[in-house]
Amino acid sequence: MRVRVATSILGITAALFAVPACSTDTVGTTSNSAPSARTEKQADTAQQAPLLSSVVLATRLLNESDLGKGYLRKPERPDQHDDASVIGCPALSKLGGDAAIGGTLSFPRKAKAAFTYGGSASEVSEELYSDSADKLSHAIGQIFDAMTGCPTYQVIAGGTPINMASQKLPAPRGLGDEQWSQLLTFSTGGRSMVVKQTAIREGSLLLIVSGSPALVDRHLDKALDKVTAAS
């Protein structure tokens, strides 16, 4: 099945595979966890929370001063799409190539940023979305369930075969209303990369942090604090 693939995470793999040395980073899929305990009143408040525009979301992204020394923001580019085939995972084929590589979600209110660290292949990216709690939860949960439901599969993107392996990770409990976390391994041309991806929904906001596992763990709390500080 031919699908269209967004390159938000695929761009991270491209940067890694361009370096001479083989990386040990892994790309992971998220695992949907049960929502934290909340009262009916709190749930109603989350459903009624105002939606934020893309302009406002952009002001809540992490920047170099938030991340610390050694981080450089990558120039923002329009979403790139390549014709791709998903092989060995019917659920992902049905959802499309964006899902297969953890691509950008199709919500209109969104903002994103990506950073390199220390002049190396290590990267961390952040995506923010705003919509109703139900829509955010359904979209991200559907993708993560499909990815973790296929432990291995292959994506042919731009004529390049990429072998994928997915692994559920324990979700970071206590953060937001719902949490997902996954680990993906991208392999191509004799090289492999590990990427961690963690998503947190807080009311009408969805935060996704992806990249080198150590960088995701280091900056996740900071990203969530900035996203929700003015909410």
In DSSP notation, the chain reads -EEEEE-TTHHHHHHHHTSSSPP--B----EE-PPPP--HHHHHHHHHPPPPPHHHHHHTS--HHHH-TTEEEPPP-PPPEEEEEEES-HHHHHH-HHHHTT-----SSEEEEEEEETTSS-EEEEEEEES-HHHHHHHHHHHHHHHHT-SEEEEEETTEEEEEEEEE----TTSSSEEEEEEEEEEETTEEEEEEEEEEEETTEEEEEEESHHHHHHHHHHHHHHHHTT-
Whether residue 212 is contained in a domain is answered as yes
pLDDT recorded at residue 79 = 57
Q: Provide the pLDDT confidence category of residue 104 given band limits of 50, 70 and 90.
A: low
Total-model pTM: 0.80
pLDDT recorded at residue 3 = 33
Report residue 190 as tokens: 């004799």
Whether residue 193 is contained in a domain is answered as yes
Whether residue 91 is contained in a domain is answered as yes
What is the number of structural domains in the chain?
1
Whether residue 132 is contained in a domain is answered as yes
pLDDT recorded at residue 50 = 85
Q: What's the mean pLDDT in 197-204?
A: 96
Q: Provide the pLDDT confidence category of residue 173 given band limits of 50, 70 and 90.
A: confident
Whether residue 218 is contained in a domain is answered as yes
Q: Work out the burial of residue 3: count CB atoms within 10 Å of its CB; fewer than 13 is exposed, 13-18 middle, 19 or more buried.
A: buried
Tell me if 71 sits within 8 A of 115, measured CB to CB: yes
Whether residue 150 is contained in a domain is answered as yes
- Answer whether residue 31 shows pLDDT above 50: no
- Answer whether residue 82 shows pLDDT above 80: no
Beta bridge partners of 73: 115
Q: What's the mean pLDDT in 25-36?
A: 40
Q: Tens digit of pLDDT for each residue in 33-80?
A: 444 444 444 444 445 578 999 999 999 999 999 999 999 999 876 655
Q: What's the mean pLDDT in 188-216?
A: 95
Which structural domain range is residue 221 located in?
2-55+82-228
- What CATH code is carried by the domain that includes residue 15? 3.40.1000
Whether residue 129 is contained in a domain is answered as yes
Q: Provide the pLDDT confidence category of residue 18 given band limits of 50, 70 and 90.
A: very low
Report residue 198 as tokens: 């963690």
The rounded Cα 193 to chain-centroid distance in angstroms is 15
The rounded Cα 222 to chain-centroid distance in angstroms is 16
- Answer whether residue 184 shows pLDDT above 50: yes
Cβ within 8 Å of residue 195, ≥6 positions away = 9, 12, 13, 25, 26, 27, 28, 102, 183, 184, 186, 210, 211, 212, 213
Tell me if 197 sits within 8 A of 30, measured CB to CB: yes
Q: Provide the pLDDT confidence category of residue 143 given band limits of 50, 70 and 90.
A: confident
- Answer whether residue 154 shows pLDDT above 60: yes
Whether residue 74 is contained in a domain is answered as no
Q: Provide the pLDDT confidence category of residue 105 given band limits of 50, 70 and 90.
A: confident
